[in-house]
């Protein structure tokens, strides 16, 4: 039976009548001639098109009514990607790559069209052969999830796995991760593994490795160079600096956000330059002093997810906040306006939350700048109601830190103290 994942109705009948299936290499005449591989379709796609992957790596959809002729070039088995053997070189530093399901250093299965993570060091080195000249790479798979599906319990699993290598001979650890929630994971690892003796680098790809414009290989190469040459430690996010292929940026794990949906240079350090820039020949260091903990490594990998991130806006119904409070929440991070404000309509609910012992922290919706709640009357009112200003902490980072703090500390005064204490540069100078 021919494989036809995602095809239905007219498009399915078209494939069957022409004796072709997903994964077949074909030549299609539709005004002009296209050569490529028939790709799967999304489950809810229409039934009037077929999709092929061109040699350039891009996918195009062709309307079946306009296809004059389709010919099969070769069978599925002949086009499945293979990997060449690469011998590890003696004397190179060792780097461990832990995959969580991102597209970085992945392989394309042309039988199914799926992009899957490299499962072995052999596959990894074959996908990005430049790595074998930089380091001796080992690879392990922890998770296989899109990043929007990675939950706090997955952060714990990742941190537990990394902690196992505290006394290893690796020069550093790379975590391959989807980009959408990467800065949440990097924040948790920054707090839970503060003081870890070797660098931890999260790497992703804005464009999958089967596309000609993919940033996967360069990001991975840059991360590996950074680990082996920068002589630092801490948690970083390493991604393209911009749309060019000349440099990658190394962002402190608690000072970074994804600021664009699709650009390769989507990640930016908030309020400063990236900590390091990795070029082809050198690494530029932009931080004057090391930001990481100098204390002995003592992992604190617990967390409590009973924390809410509340984005205030004109017209916010305080009844929604009441529902949050009554849900058993232990902490609320407000994403307030300007210097750290929410409307007076919220004050009664804020007072109730404080009386119930809920930690209340204030961040700003502004991308840059600090919360300063002493400037205006509304800020001072909120201070008197027990809201704690969180300096220039990024709202998402404050959320993750509150989960981590509440998971490891119980006393309310200590919780407030730790929330205001700089653990991993989440509060910048």
- Has residue 296 been placed in a domain? no
* Residue 113 backbone class (left: φ over 0; alpha: ψ -120 to 50; beta: rest): left
The reply to whether 145 and 217 lie within a common domain is yes
169 is known as an active-site residue: no
- Has residue 147 been placed in a domain? yes
Instruction: Say which of 160, 180, 245, 381 is annotated catalytic.
Output: 180
Instruction: Say which of 76, 179, 232, 363 is annotated catalytic.
Output: 179
The reply to whether 184 and 46 lie within a common domain is no
Among 78, 103, 133, the domain boundary falls at 78
The reply to whether 63 and 107 lie within a common domain is no
Instruction: Say which of 53, 258, 330, 401 is annotated catalytic.
Output: 258
The pLDDT assigned to 35 comes to 92
- Has residue 54 been placed in a domain? yes
Among 253, 285, 317, the domain boundary falls at 285
138: domain CATH number is 3.40.50.1170
The reply to whether 258 and 155 lie within a common domain is yes
Entry pTM: 0.84
Whose CA is closest to 26, among 18, 41, 36, 12?
Answer: 36
The pLDDT assigned to 330 comes to 98
The pLDDT assigned to 86 comes to 63
Instruction: Say which of 103, 181, 247, 388 is annotated catalytic.
Output: 103
The pLDDT assigned to 67 comes to 95
- Has residue 429 been placed in a domain? no
103 is known as an active-site residue: yes
Q: What residues pair up with 215 in beta bridges, in sequence order?
A: none
The reply to whether 213 and 337 lie within a common domain is no
**Full residue range of the structural domain in which residue 372 is found:** 307-420
DSSP 297-322: P---------EEEEE--TT--HHHHH
The pLDDT assigned to 56 comes to 73
The reply to whether 19 and 65 lie within a common domain is yes
Question: Is residue 209 a contact partner of residue 103, using CB atoms and an 8 Å limit?
Answer: yes
The reply to whether 216 and 338 lie within a common domain is no
50: domain CATH number is 2.30.30.520
pLDDT digit string (tens) for the chain, length 429 residues: 345 667 889 999 999 999 998 888 999 999 999 999 888 876 667 889 999 988 776 788 999 999 999 999 865 444 444 555 666 788 999 999 998 876 554 555 544 555 555 555 566 666 788 888 999 999 888 888 888 999 999 999 999 999 999 999 999 999 999 899 999 999 999 999 999 999 999 998 886 655 555 778 889 999 999 999 998 999 999 998 888 878 999 999 999 999 999 888 899 999 999 999 999 889 999 987 655 555 678 999 999 999 999 999 999 999 999 999 999 999 999 999 999 999 999 999 999 999 999 999 999 999 999 999 999 999 999 999 999 999 999 999 999 999 999 999 999 999 999 999 999 999 987
- Has residue 141 been placed in a domain? yes
Domain count, the chain: 3
- Has residue 87 been placed in a domain? no
- Tell me how long the chain is: 429
The reply to whether 72 and 100 lie within a common domain is no
Cα–Cα distance, 146 to 250 (Å, whole number): 22
The pLDDT assigned to 339 comes to 98
Question: Is residue 303 a contact partner of residue 155, using CB atoms and an 8 Å limit?
Answer: yes
The pLDDT assigned to 244 comes to 82
180 is known as an active-site residue: yes
Query: Which own/partner contact pairs does 34-40 have at CB distance under 8 Å and 24+ positions apart?
Result: 34/60, 34/62, 35/73, 36/60, 37/79, 37/110, 39/113, 40/5, 40/6, 40/112, 40/113, 40/114
């Amino acid at each position: 039976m021919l494989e036809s994942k995602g095809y239905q109705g007219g498009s399915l009948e078209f494939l069957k009548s022409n004796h072709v299936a997903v994964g077949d290499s074909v030549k299609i005449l539709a005004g002009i001639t296209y050569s490529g591989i028939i790709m799967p379709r999304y489950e809810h796609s229409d039934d009037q098109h077929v999709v092929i992957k061109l040699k350039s790596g891009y996918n195009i959809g062709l309307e079946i009514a306009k296809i004059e002729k389709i010919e099969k070039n070769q069978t599925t088995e002949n086009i499945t990607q293979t990997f060449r053997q690469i011998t590890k070189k003696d004397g190179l530093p060792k780097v461990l790559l832990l995959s969580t399901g991102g597209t970085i250093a992945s392989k394309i299965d042309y039988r199914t069209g799926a992009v899957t993570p490299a499962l072995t060091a052999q596959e990894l080195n074959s996908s990005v052969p430049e790595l074998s000249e930089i380091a001796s790479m080992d690879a392990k798979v922890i998770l296989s999830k899109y990043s929007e599906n990675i939950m706090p319990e997955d952060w714990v699993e990742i941190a537990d796995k990394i902690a196992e290598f505290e006394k290893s001979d690796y020069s550093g650890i790379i975590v391959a991760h989807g980009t959408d929630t990467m800065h949440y994971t990097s924040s948790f690892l920054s707090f839970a593994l503060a003081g870890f003796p070797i660098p931890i680098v999260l790497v992703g790809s804005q464009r999958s490795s089967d596309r000609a414009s993919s940033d996967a290989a360069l990001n991975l190469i840059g991360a590996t160079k950074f680990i082996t040459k920068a002589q630092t430690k801490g948690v970083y996010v390493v991604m393209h600096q911009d749309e060019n292929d000349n440099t990658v940026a190394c962002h402190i794990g608690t000072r970074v956000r994804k600021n664009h949906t699709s650009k390769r240079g989507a990640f930016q350090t908030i309020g400063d330059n990236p900590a390091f820039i990795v070029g082809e020949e050198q690494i530029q260091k932009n931080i004057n002093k090391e930001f990481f903990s100098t204390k002995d490594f003592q992992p604190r990998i617990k967390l409590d997810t009973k924390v809410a991130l509340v984005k205030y806006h004109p017209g916010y119904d305080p009844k929604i906040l009441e529902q949050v409070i009554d849900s058993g929440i232990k902490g609320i991070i407000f994403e307030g306006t300007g210097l750290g404000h929410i409307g007076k309509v919220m004050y009664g609910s804020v007072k109730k939350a404080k009386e119930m012992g809920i930690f209340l922290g204030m961040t700003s919706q502004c991308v840059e700048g600090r919360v300063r709640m002493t400037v205006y009357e509304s800020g001072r009112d909120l201070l008197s109601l027990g809201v704690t200003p969180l300096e220039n902490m990024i709202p998402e980072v404050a959320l993750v830190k509150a989960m981590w703090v509440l998971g490891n500390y119980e006393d309310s005064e200590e919780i407030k103290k730790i929330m205001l204490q700089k653990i991993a540069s989440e509060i910048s100078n």
